[in-house]
Structure 1
Amino acid sequence: MSPAASPKRWALSGRIVTMAAEGDVIKSGTIFIEDNRIAAIVAKGQSAPAGFEAINPVATGGTIYPGLIELHNHLSYNILPLWQVPQLYGNRDQWQNAKSYKTSVTGPMSAIALADDGSLLPALVRYVEAKCMVAGTTTSQGITLSNWSGTIHKYYKGALRAAEIGSPPDLPRAHSKIPDIDAEDWAKFDKELKSSSCFLLHLSEGIDTKAHSHFLALRNSEGDWAIEPSLAGIHCTALDATDFGTMAENRAKVVWSPLSNLLLYGTTTDVVAARTAGLTIALGSDWSPSGSKNLLGELKAAKVVSAHFNLGFSDYEIVSMATRNPAAILKWEAKLGTIASGKFADLLVVKGVTGDPYSHLIKSHEQDIVLVTIGGRPRYGTKTIMQKAGGSGEALKIGSSARVIDFTSPDQDPEIEKITLAEATIRLRAALGNLGTLQPHSLAMSDAIASGTVSRTGWRLALDEQFGNNVQLRPRLEYNGVRTGPDLAAVATAAEPLHPIKLDGLTVAGDPVFLDTLKSEPNLPQGIGAAIAAFY
């Protein structure tokens, strides 16, 4: 029998923001890491723990936070640039049928997913994972794949943690999809909620009566609510104080995407009412067509929106929405969300150690990210810090700064080609610039899938917002005899010819068009776009 491998031990030093409680900050300290967990945290001047006496800590010169956890992001769509939303909408059904939405979002994504010759899926998963990691996100929602006939589904396994994959028993799997039949049956839907530790579901997307009926349908004829402690309602934009009181009584939670709400509806979720009711609130950037480029950007949007509407959220509360709160919603709080001994070493280091530590993170740019670790492994950072931390990977630049990113993983999906980020970028730019040629191939494949005549092997994207996949991202219960929730099956692939579009930039720093587009969005209340842009 071969001897057990020695544990990997290393350490990093800086200002440590534990997020265990407001003000729980070690001005200068060291985090000692053994394999995938934090072994100890000590303040400057204290002795290293046993076994770490010979370890020379990596001096980061930065502020260390828990890795950011995102509970709402349709990652597959994050190759698309920000959509110029043409008008105000009242609910989800309305904007999904807009002509420009079909030519800017659903049409291009169908072309990428269904006209894929096998080269685009590896490129897409590589690129969208990179967009998360370079902005400090260590957990997001999963990317759904299916075989070409659409009969088998799975989540892509990459370097990023996925809420729906988790790491049982330490990190229980979340659910974000309901079988079609269960989504339309109150008792079955309630049973689904009871069966999971966390269910991330879209709820009441919009601001009108139709959007509100989506929530009211959760109550059956006997007056019982299909709301369980596992339910984390995404958006909840149509809910009022009474509704949030009902959610609180049943110990549900809320996932807030302020920028996406404003871009589509001109207003946002009543998160003050949600907070007053005692609900735990987390943040999600939604997706690049109508949201922030990453969760770091959504922190800025939340701060701007809180100030604009006098919501009263402190910087600590906003940072909590991307760290400790989502960990609690996922039932992961014993292992992630705060920095403590015994927890997994998912960490984010931001350049600089002065000023308010919570404002410091919110104000930071992507080029300020010094290091990102997932499970104790250096995944992304400056070239110098990655080398000192024993990390390696592909070289890239953020702005003018040299960075290194590591996608390798022992349980990475073996059936998906492993390519560099540089190659992924080349492939995606070419495909998005050639949508007119891809479109007829995607339409033909769509017909073949529908008729059951597909013979291809391998995996393709399963776009939940377009292809159905026999699951729903939201309940579809009846209210007053009418089925609630958007009817995604009614959305046809764009009939209009597709034209080339640009690949969405990896970061705001590398995308000069993003802020100009944001500031020109017609539905944003005056000053919101400019205030977000001012952070950059």
Structure 2
Amino acid sequence: MALVLRGTVVTFDEEHRILDPGAVYVGDDGRLGAVQPAGQPPPAGFAAAPAVDLTGTGALVLPGLVDLHSHLQYNTLPLWEAVGVPYPHHDRWVDEKRPPDYSTSVTWPAKVLGTAAPEALLAYIEVKALVGGSTSLQGAPRSTRPIDGGLVRIVDLEKLPAGHDMVLTAALQKTADELRDQTAGLLNGTRVLIYHVAEGRHVTEPDPTKPVSHVHIEFDHLAPCLKPGLICVHGTALTPAEFAAWQQGVTAVNPAERGTVVWSPFSNHWLYHETTDVVAATAQGLRIALGSDWSPSGTKHVLGELKVADGINHHELGDHFDDRGLCDMVTANPGDALATAWGPQVGRLAAGSLADLLVLERHEPGEDVYRNLVDATERHVLLVVARGVPRYGTGPLMTAAGATDTDAIEPVAGLRRRVAVRRTGGTTGADGAGATGAGATLDWPAVKRALEKVRRDPQAAWRDAQEGLVAWGAPLADPDAPLALFGDMPEGEEVALAGTDDVPAGLVIPELDALTHDEAFFAAVDRTGIPELQRLRKYYEEGPA
């Protein structure tokens, strides 16, 4: 649908222009037709387009936020307060047997919800992202059939621009031979690989009598893949020398290109009590993007993660990054990394960019626009447009933007908001978005009812879902197969169908994780005693720490 937004436009384009006032023209093809000063004549085709006029309100129009690291199937679960922290590396906590053990706290709840209510699960986690201003999420679960055209862009599933998968992902480590055979030929400027690597604690004084930590071997295995299309998640154990080798591999292919590190500081501190040396990474020329990871050890969405990064930047890194640099981590930087494969930009507002937008209340008029984004919380998100469609926001702005078939959502930080979950029509836009994605027919109340039904009786829900999969009988890759989701963590390596697994007796699926950073979240953070994480509360109570 065509749409015009007028107000203070924070473009994040190559010049980082701020147009005050400016106008953003959303075409009905899901691309931006123009981004220009408000006084200039509109481009052709927009004379009758609905207009959202924010001039005089101080509201900011920005790119929708990009979350470049998550594991979506798990994002209805609360923070997992494991007792074995800090873990040395990523292979330890998945084997945690002490209460609250990993299997019944994380694995089984996610598995049952993903099998018994997959459409509702996806819709819930997409709405959770929208509440925080995110319009692109990485971390698609594996599924029995293709998932197309969600409420937000699921990075792994986008078909831009050539109509086939352009983004490869791997949360689990591969051998050197697998990486060489499967990805070396793909990282040539037309596709990208998002790969978890070296997730664990730094080894400051290695013992020469012991073998090298296997998380460093993961990086060694990546040697054939150190090319422009590589996006590495975490890298918490990497050294300055390894960051240098990484960027040297990138520039050997393209001197103008940069590698990308995805930084998830909350999750890193929650599990390992330390985080990636992002100062060393930037010193070697690598770009930094942020990712919220997953709700068992992460923030609700990347808007929250931005505050964790800000607190660490101020208290531990000596303000190495300025406010604009921090904001680039959730807009321009991930957009540039994905543009390697996609072509069109998703993190910069310019003609031809994908039509993903965030309208943010300018809650601190005396501060610059970038500080406003850093300090913003869910209450300041006024409107979110994803794929050119208004999906979430205040009632008046959703109406002005032409949103239809919306539902009231539970108060967000005490404020009223509306969400458009149902998807109508059968057209497919130029960006590959169809109207047949998971959850297309569910409204918001139905999403919650479906998930609560599974929570009330997980054993029965699991049994019914498994029986449905077996009754189907045809190959699960068939587009008409029943949808079921399977995790991308180690326990999801083998897909369990009927008869292969039984739900643990007495399994309790936790209440759905709140859409906002609420008191339950902060109470769990307080119990950890981790100062880098406890600062987050102050952004939501009295401004930044």
> Where on the TM-score scale, by shorter chain, does this alignment land: which range?
0.7 to 0.9
**Per-residue CA shift, 1:424-468, capped at 9, x if unaligned?**
2233234335446667x49988xx99xx999x9512112111221
For residue 12 of structure 2, give the secondary structure of its aligned residue in structure 1: coil
Structure 2 residue aligned with 1:4: none
Relative to structure 1, the CA distance from residue 531 to residue 224 in structure 2 (aligned partners, 3 Å threshold; closer, same or farther) is: same
User: Unaligned regions of 5+ residues in structure 1, if any?
Assistant: 1-7, 148-152, 471-491
Q: CA contact under 8 A between 2:135 and 2:152: conserved in structure 1? A: yes
Comparing 185-194 with 332-341, greater Cα deviation is found at: 185-194
Aligned mate of 1:43, from 31, 37, 41: 37
1:374, 1:444 → 2: CA distance? 34
Relative to structure 1, the CA distance from residue 143 to residue 228 in structure 2 (aligned partners, 3 Å threshold; closer, same or farther) is: same
Q: CA contact under 8 A between 2:331 and 2:347: conserved in structure 1? A: yes
1:218, 1:44 → 2: CA distance? 48
Structure 2 residue aligned with 1:236: 235
Amino acid at match of 1:339: L
For residue 16 of structure 1, give the secondary structure of its aligned residue in structure 2: strand
Matched, 1:268 2:301: no
CA drift of 1:415 comes to 7.1
Amino acid at match of 1:258: P
2:136, 2:343 → 1: CA distance? 13
Aligned mate of 2:418, from 387, 401, 404: 404
Aligned mate of 1:431, from 412, 435, 454: 454
Q: CA contact under 8 A between 2:149 and 2:435: conserved in structure 1? A: yes
Match runs of 1:47-446 below 5 Å: 47-52=41-46, 57-60=51-54, 61=57, 62-86=59-83, 87-99=85-97, 100=100, 101-114=102-115, 116=116, 120-147=117-144, 154-169=146-161, 173-177=166-170, 185=178, 187-191=180-184, 193-194=186-187, 197-207=191-201, 212-219=213-220, 225-251=224-250, 252-310=259-317, 312-331=320-339, 332=342, 334-352=344-362, 354=365, 355-392=367-404, 393-396=406-409, 397-407=411-421, 408=423, 410=426, 411-413=434-436, 418-435=441-458, 441=463
Percent identity, please. Answer: 30
CA drift of 1:164 comes to 1.8
Q: CA contact under 8 A between 1:142 and 1:156: conserved in structure 2? A: no
Relative to structure 1, the CA distance from residue 104 to residue 54 in structure 2 (aligned partners, 3 Å threshold; closer, same or farther) is: closer
Q: CA contact under 8 A between 2:64 and 2:331: conserved in structure 1? A: yes
Match runs of 1:11-26 below 5 Å: 11-21=4-14, 24-26=17-19
1:93, 1:422 → 2: CA distance? 38
Relative to structure 1, the CA distance from residue 390 to residue 453 in structure 2 (aligned partners, 3 Å threshold; closer, same or farther) is: closer
1:457, 1:21 → 2: CA distance? 44
Structure 1 residue aligned with 2:429: none
**Per-residue CA shift, 1:162-217, capped at 9, x if unaligned?**
21222422797211039998775353145365366210011011115589533435
Q: CA contact under 8 A between 1:259 and 1:292: conserved in structure 2? A: yes
Comparing 35-44 with 64-73, greater Cα deviation is found at: 35-44
CA drift of 1:290 comes to 0.4
2:172, 2:298 → 1: CA distance? 27
Q: CA contact under 8 A between 1:122 and 1:418: conserved in structure 2? A: no
Amino acid at match of 1:265: Y
For residue 168 of structure 2, give the secondary structure of its aligned residue in structure 1: coil
Amino acid at match of 1:421: W
Structure 2 residue aligned with 1:485: none
Q: CA contact under 8 A between 1:344 and 1:375: conserved in structure 2? A: yes
For residue 243 of structure 1, give the secondary structure of its aligned residue in structure 2: helix
CA drift of 1:534 comes to 4.2
**Per-residue CA shift, 1:61-115, capped at 9, x if unaligned?**
310101111111111111101111322111011111113222211122223234x
**Per-residue CA shift, 1:318-367, capped at 9, x if unaligned?**
11111111111112464321111232221100012732101111211212
CA drift of 1:528 comes to 3.4
Amino acid at match of 2:492: F
**Per-residue CA shift, 1:34-84, capped at 9, x if unaligned?**
322222233244444455456673213310101111111111111101111
Comparing 9-18 with 154-163, greater Cα deviation is found at: 154-163
**Per-residue CA shift, 1:370-407, capped at 9, x if unaligned?**
11112322222111011111112222242443322223
For residue 92 of structure 2, give the secondary structure of its aligned residue in structure 1: helix
Relative to structure 1, the CA distance from residue 22 to residue 463 in structure 2 (aligned partners, 3 Å threshold; closer, same or farther) is: same
The normalised TM-score by structure 2 is 0.80
2:535, 2:78 → 1: CA distance? 19
For residue 506 of structure 1, give the secondary structure of its aligned residue in structure 2: coil
Number of residue pairs the alignment of both structures matches: 492
1:156, 1:522 → 2: CA distance? 42
1:10, 1:525 → 2: CA distance? 41
Comparing 252-261 with 339-348, greater Cα deviation is found at: 339-348
CA drift of 1:535 comes to 6.0
CA drift of 1:494 comes to 8.8
Relative to structure 1, the CA distance from residue 276 to residue 528 in structure 2 (aligned partners, 3 Å threshold; closer, same or farther) is: same
User: Unaligned regions of 5+ residues in structure 2, if any?
Assistant: 204-210, 251-258, 427-433, 496-500
Amino acid at match of 1:506: L
